A and B are shown apart, each in its own frame.
Chain A
Amino acid sequence: MNAPRRSTDRNHDPQSGGCDDDTIATRRYDRVMDENPTPAVGAIAPAITLEDTDRRVRGLDEIAAAGYCVVVFYRGHW
């Protein structure tokens, strides 16, 4: 009789919390293992400054400055 009504319940909005306004594509699979958010399309990439196999320090900003840079993370030898 006095059942509470929730007129503005948006908890079930499947669109919320996403970042689907990207220009090309964002693919999500079953990644659940890192609590830190992965940067989304449209965001500024976190800086990368690491040594390469010749022990030369490489910066993503300097490589990307020449054009697009594909950044691939792989599992590696383990």
Chain B
Amino acid sequence: MADYGPEYEKIRAAGADLIAISVDTIAQASAMKRDLKLPFHILCDTDRKTITAWGLVNHREREIAIPAAFIVDRDMRLRFAATEGSFTRVEPAAVTKALAELAAGRAISAMGTSRTVRPGAMFLRAAMNALARGFKSR
């Protein structure tokens, strides 16, 4: 999760937010949030209800979560989905890149319809940075 700390600023700049979910207790999640100085919400799915609904229960390892990352839009529709094996992680850069692509798509359509949807240099710069980083890290 530590890698998402530095990415969070970019995610916020792109007009998005982030929540992180595991089956940890509140005490365990609080300790991680404090130790890694994580600025985003960490949610605790101790009864596994959420990871069950999302098809992300790792039955091989004490019903912990299978690492995955999604992007949900304001209508609750999934716009990005990435799941991985039990010992690998979804790269935060891939998520930021997808977010930048979504943001860029929205910016283009906003221009076309002359509606102003979160315009601004900061928004575009965040998208460009994310794209550049994404290419470099691959």
Interchain CB contact under 8 A, B44 and A29? no
Q: How far is the CA of A76 from the CA of B26 in the complex (A)?
A: 11
- Among B16, B21, B56, the residue within 8 A (CB) of A68 is B16
A33 at the interface (CB under 8 A from B): yes
* Chain A contact patch, size range: 35 or more
Interchain CB contact under 8 A, A33 and B64? no
B51 at the interface (CB under 8 A from A): yes
Q: Would you give the 0/1 interface string for B56-71, flagging 1 where the beta carbon is closer than 8 Å to chain A?
A: 1111111011111111
Q: How far is the CA of A9 from the CA of B9 in the complex (A)?
A: 52
Q: Which residues of A contact B23 (CB under 8 A)?
A: 76
List B residues at the A interface (Cβ < 8 Å): 1, 4, 11, 14-24, 26, 28-33, 41-45, 50-62, 64-86, 88-90, 94-95, 98-99, 101-103, 105, 118
Q: 7 A-B contacts, Cβ less than 8 Å apart? A: A31-B85, A39-B81, A53-B33, A68-B72, A71-B71, A71-B72, A72-B19
List A residues at the B interface (Cβ < 8 Å): 22-31, 33-48, 50-53, 55, 58, 60-61, 63-78
